[in-house]
Amino acid sequence: MNEVLLSTPEAGIALIRINREEARNALNDAVRARLADFFGQLSEDKEVRCIILTGGSRVFAAGADIKAMAEASAIDIMLRATHRLWQAITACGKPIIAAVNGLALGGGCELAMNADLIIAGESARFGQPEIKLGIIPGAGGTQRLTRAVGKFKAMKMLLTGQPIGAAEAFGMGLVSEVVGDDQVLERAMALAREIAALPPLAIAQVKEVVLAGQDIPLEAALMLERKAFQILFASADQKEGMRAFIEKRPPEFKGI
Ligand code: DAK
């Protein structure tokens, strides 16, 4: 039950921590189900403005639980339908920051890639080692990684299974920021605080338009952007934000 922990370190900020150190935070069914529950719950919670997802100091997550799938049949894997659990994360409309210390491997790297921002400690390592187990990534590793870093860098990681360090991951666009190992959570909190103070309807529109837009033709994506832009003029926070600027005072956003 305590393999995934949820807390509220500050108003508006939720912190989810994977806490299965003895198995290097491997994602078994229980961990995935609990992650899905928490993300589903937080999606509906109006008080939550930003979610931080983290693991331990040495391992963010070492991927799917190999012991739980080693002897599975193809039908077992199909019936487990773990993509439904991942969908609870991808469907979450709130901004998600992955705070990554140590290893993010396989499903762990895929989990981090479901976040909107990745803050990595300088010793963090990212990899898709599935190829060494005779499989390929099954939760977006071939697709999200390629979209994030491009074909040739993704292929190198996917075809060799070799992990890369935080600096290289930053250079290729896989992480948003690299900070000292002991600064990861602090930096994630600072960013979450900044995001939590901004108008949530506009924040949600940024996330929705960026994610939906990257998989459709540019003209359609620009149309989505225009519509989101227009619709925000129906929000009280747009009026507040612009009036506050003109009146030279700090805005008070209400999320409406
Ligand atoms: N699964 C299960 N147990 C794991 C594990 C994992 N991924 N990673 C580590 N453990 C366990 C070890 O077996 C060991 O257990 P005991 O021997 O104590 O019982 C314990 O955690 C400590 O591990 P080590 O002794 O190996 O610890 P080290 O610190 O020396 O090494 C390590 C840490 C993370 C470098 C190493 O454990 C390692 O290489 N782990 C495997 C990493 C890996 O190959 N990850 C990819 C897994 S495949 C799907 C979607 C996605 C996926 C699958 C399906 N669908 C939608 C269907 C994803 C697949 C994957 O992620």
Q: pLDDT band at 84, cuts 50/70/90?
A: confident
Which pLDDT belongs to residue 42?
97
CA of 32 relative to ligand 1 center, distance in Å: 15
Model confidence pTM above 0.85: yes
Predicted confidence (pLDDT) per residue in 155-198, tens digit: 999 999 999 999 999 999 999 999 999 999 999 999 999 999 99
- The Cα-based distances of 127 to 37, 53, 114, 121 in angstroms read 26, 18, 15, 15
CA of 233 relative to ligand 1 center, distance in Å: 48
Q: Is 85 in the pocket of ligand 1 (CB under 6 A)?
A: no
Predicted confidence (pLDDT) per residue in 7-37, tens digit: 999 999 999 999 999 999 999 999 999 999 9
Which pLDDT belongs to residue 1?
63
Number of Cβ within 10 Å of residue 146's Cβ equals 17
Active site residue 71: no
Predicted confidence (pLDDT) per residue in 122-154, tens digit: 999 999 999 999 999 999 999 999 999 999 999
Is the alpha carbon torsion for 172, 223, 254, 6 positive or negative?
negative
Predicted confidence (pLDDT) per residue in 240-256, tens digit: 999 999 999 999 999 99
Helix (H) / strand (E) containing 14: strand 13-18
